[in-house]
Amino acid sequence: MQLKNIFLQKEKGMAIVTIERPPLNLLNSQTLLELKKVWEDLEKDNSKVVILTGVGKAFVAGADIKEMKDKDPSQANEFAKLGQAIFNRIEDLEKPVICAVNGLALGGGLELVMSCDIIIASEEAKFGQPEVGLGLIPGWGATQKLPRIIGRNMAKELILTGEVIDANEALRIGLVSKVVKSEDLMEETKKLAGKIISKAPIPLRLAKSLINKSFDINLKEGLSLESKAFGLCFSTKDRKEGMNAFMEKREPKFRNE
């Protein structure tokens, strides 16, 4: 598949995925399938961190209403399942995904944001699930993921009112990790990515997987999985290097893959 709306760049252990479908980077079927294609590549490459961002005044301002408006219920259901499957694939990627939100993240755009592991927003970013204003509900995961991130009551308020909030409010309610000046967004995101890249790859994969699973299993099951994964770390060369480096008061030299 030729990529027209998604661009992939790789540098220094990180993969940078940029959505560019001006003027608002709306998600249509073509863009979703391009995102899927890029993720298939990222599942097999040796990058340690992925950065997802957009171009222009929007990260993603939502799904493409022009494409959706004439769908019947069955077609709409399939479109919802397509988006959910791709966003779940993003969430399940073994390596960490940092979202650099450069502008509007509305509807499907916010649902895409929530598929990422760490979210950094520019001061210009805005967030919302405005689907009720279109006679719809969110279809790509917001009713399930937003309550897990910001709590049930706040999620209900955002979804039921369709209110759009700014970056500082998103930070206050725990939707994003950090707010930075627009001109500093990529620099700050790459700096964070660099910190992650410097760590051992196996613990990164295990920690992300365990945190994701914690929402779907009970505490005892989660603790059992954690202890097994903790033990697994002790079979790796990176664990020996990390502990030896600590004892020798030097920086560890972990493997790159």
Catalytic residues: 111, 131
Of 94, 89, 93, 131, nearest to 109 by C-alpha is 131
Which H or E run contains 223? helix 219-233
Distance CA 206, CA 190 (A): 22
State how beta strands 14-19 and 49-54 pair: parallel
Token duo for residue 230: 């903790």
CA 145 vs. chain centroid, Å, equals 12
**Token couple for 6:** 């998604």
Q: Do residues 8 and 62 make contact, with C-beta atoms less than 8 angstroms apart?
A: no
DSSP state of 63: B
Residue written as token pair 């020996």: 240
SS3 64: coil
